[in-house]
């Protein structure tokens, strides 16, 4: 067809010329359309149309003989002009339009639908706060029932350990645990270095160089290394859980699991949770070691405390209970990360946007809850005088 062969030049942009008829008796207005009325070329014309007034109130004659090309968007614009004139009670006559163009105009006019309903007014501030709170309450109750479901399935599985899917557990152990070794180790090492570096000045002032072992040992083992590891794992694995389950939800894989008779929590949540509960304490022991190593190296460099002296002092300073208070938080953190990540995955609705949103929420929420849990642990240990 000819549209294919035509190339568009600047002279061919859509044009509309208004001519007032000289004979006052007819009082007719003549509109001459010219150029290519196609989607790429009508932008200018459309902008000028807004400001254009159509003088007179008699008949309007539209001359379309100079239109070189017309597509549906151009036809729509023409249709809009005609409709506007007709709404003002003027009769419109179209001349000279090529037959295929008038067919297109007909088609566009016939598909014209009633203007869309105006958007409902924006809710008031109070209504917005109310809706927001209600949504958060629903989310909270959803989270609680999710934890409940998972707990029931966990108990079922523990009663029949042969039903636990060990292969995904092992796979998750590798991805969430083993593969996290380099990054958690490095960061904890650096953290040890930083603490020793910061403490060195103060201790040197009192000539208490050897107490660097107390400082590094206690802060790393009791607080920092479990927290740091949990935060890294929340960012690494919690987000992955949310994205994986969310995508599976969009592709209806979760529904497929249900129809096969497999509870999605059993296949997707439980192995992740078990694996993380095993992996996180182990990772914490490892980051304890790398963190202390970092502090030890810094102590020798900055304070001249040799490794032997440092390790001697460390044995005295850090009791078994200090080590265990750090380690016993890890499984709790692991459960939080796995549950929040998976729950947010299940919250994904049908859009790609939603996967991104829930993944973000999962990381923010799990880090938040891990820190809250850590604070609760501190209070509890303080009561128990550990």
Partner 1 sequence: MEQTQDAGAVVDIRGLNTRFGRNVVHDNVSLSVHPGEIFALVGSSGCGKSTLLRTIIMLLQPVSGSIRVFGQEVVGLRDEEALPLRRRWGVMFERGALFSSLTVAENVGMVLREHTQLSARLVAEVATMKIALTGLPADAGAKYPSELSGGMRKRAALARAIALDPELLFLDEPTAGLDPLSASGIDELVRSLRDALGLTIMMVTHDLDLLWRAADRVAVLGEGHILGIGTMTELSRSDHPIIREYFYGPRGRAAREQAWKKK
Residues at the interface with partner 1 (CB under 8 A):
1, 3-4, 38-40, 42-44, 46-47, 50, 71-73, 76-77, 80, 100, 103-104, 107-108, 111-114, 116, 250, 349-354
Query: φ, ψ for residue 19 (rounded to 5)?
Result: -125, 125
Nearest approach, Cβ of residue 305 and partner 1 (Å): 57
Number of neighbouring beta carbons within 10 Å of residue 52: 11
Q: Tokens for 9?
A: 């030049």
Nearest approach, Cβ of residue 257 and partner 1 (Å): 19
Residues 40-49: contacts with CB under 8 Å, at least 24 apart: 40/8, 41/8, 41/12, 41/13, 41/14, 41/74, 42/14, 42/73, 42/74, 42/77, 44/13, 44/14, 45/13, 45/14, 45/15, 45/16, 45/77, 46/77, 48/16, 49/16, 49/77, 49/81
CA-nearest of 252, 228, 242, 260 to 329 is 228
Q: Tokens for 236?
A: 């690494």
Nearer to partner 1, 97 or 317 (CB): 97
Nearer to partner 1, 98 or 236 (CB): 98
Nearer to partner 1, 103 or 152 (CB): 103
CB 169 within 8 A of CB 267: no
Nearest approach, Cβ of residue 112 and partner 1 (Å): 7
Nearer to partner 1, 7 or 22 (CB): 7
Nearest approach, Cβ of residue 7 and partner 1 (Å): 10
Nearest approach, Cβ of residue 111 and partner 1 (Å): 4
Nearest approach, Cβ of residue 175 and partner 1 (Å): 27
CA 36 vs CA 10, 57, 109, 320: distances in Å: 10, 28, 19, 85
Nearest approach, Cβ of residue 116 and partner 1 (Å): 7
**How do 15-20 and 29-37 pair as beta strands?**
antiparallel
3-class secondary-structure state, position 92: strand
Nearer to partner 1, 82 or 293 (CB): 82
Nearest approach, Cβ of residue 142 and partner 1 (Å): 20
Q: How far apart are CA 270 and CA 154, in angstroms?
A: 7
Nearer to partner 1, 71 or 266 (CB): 71
Nearer to partner 1, 119 or 125 (CB): 119
Nearer to partner 1, 13 or 180 (CB): 13
Nearest approach, Cβ of residue 76 and partner 1 (Å): 5
Nearer to partner 1, 14 or 330 (CB): 14
Give the sheet arrangement for strand 15-20, strand by strand.
15-20, 29-37, 60-70, 92-95
- Bin 348: left if φ > 0, else alpha if -120 < ψ < 50, else beta: beta
């Amino acid at each position: 067809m000819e549209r294919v062969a035509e190339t568009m030049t600047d002279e061919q942009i859509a044009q509309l010329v208004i001519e007032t008829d000289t004979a006052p008796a007819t009082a007719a207005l003549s509109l001459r359309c010219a150029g290519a009325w196609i989607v790429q070329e009508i932008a200018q014309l459309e902008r000028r149309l807004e400001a254009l007034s159509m003088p007179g109130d008699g008949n309007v004659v539209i001359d379309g003989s100079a239109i070189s090309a017309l597509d549906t968007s151009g036809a729509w614009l023409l249709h809009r002009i005609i409709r506007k004139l007709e709404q003002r009670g003027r009769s419109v006559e179209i001349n000279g339009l090529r037959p295929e163009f008038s067919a297109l105009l007909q088609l566009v006019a016939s598909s014209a639908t009633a203007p869309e309903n105006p958007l409902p007014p924006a809710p008031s501030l109070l209504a917005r706060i109310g809706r927001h709170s209600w949504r958060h309450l629903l989310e909270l109750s959803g989270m609680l029932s999710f934890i409940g479901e998972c707990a029931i399935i966990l108990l079922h599985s523990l009663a029949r350990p042969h039903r636990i899917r060990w292969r995904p557990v092992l796979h998750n152990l590798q991805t969430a645990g083993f593969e996290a070794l380099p990054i958690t180790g490095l960061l904890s090492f650096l953290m040890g270095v930083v603490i020793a570096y910061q403490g060195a000045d103060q201790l040197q002032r009192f000539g208490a160089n050897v107490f660097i072992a107390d400082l590094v040992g206690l802060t790393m083992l009791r607080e920092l290394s479990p927290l740091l590891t949990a935060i890294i794992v929340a960012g690494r694995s919690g987000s992955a859980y949310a994205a994986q389950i969310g995508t599976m939800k969009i592709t209806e894989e979760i529904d497929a699991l249900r129809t096969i008779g497999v509870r999605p929590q059993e296949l997707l949540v439980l192995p992740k949770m078990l694996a993380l509960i095993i992996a996180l304490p182990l990772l914490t022991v490892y980051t304890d070691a790398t963190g202390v190593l970092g502090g030890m190296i810094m102590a020798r460099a900055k304070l001249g405390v040799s490794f032997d002296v440092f390790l001697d002092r460390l044995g005295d300073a850090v009791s078994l209970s200090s080590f265990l208070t750090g380690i016993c938080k890890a499984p709790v953190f692991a459960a939080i990360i796995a549950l929040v990540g998976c729950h947010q995955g299940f919250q994904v609705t049908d859009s790609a946007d939603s996967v991104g949103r829930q993944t973000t929420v999962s990381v923010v929420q799990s880090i938040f809850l891990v820190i809250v849990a850590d604070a609760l642990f501190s209070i509890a240990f303080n009561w128990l005088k550990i």
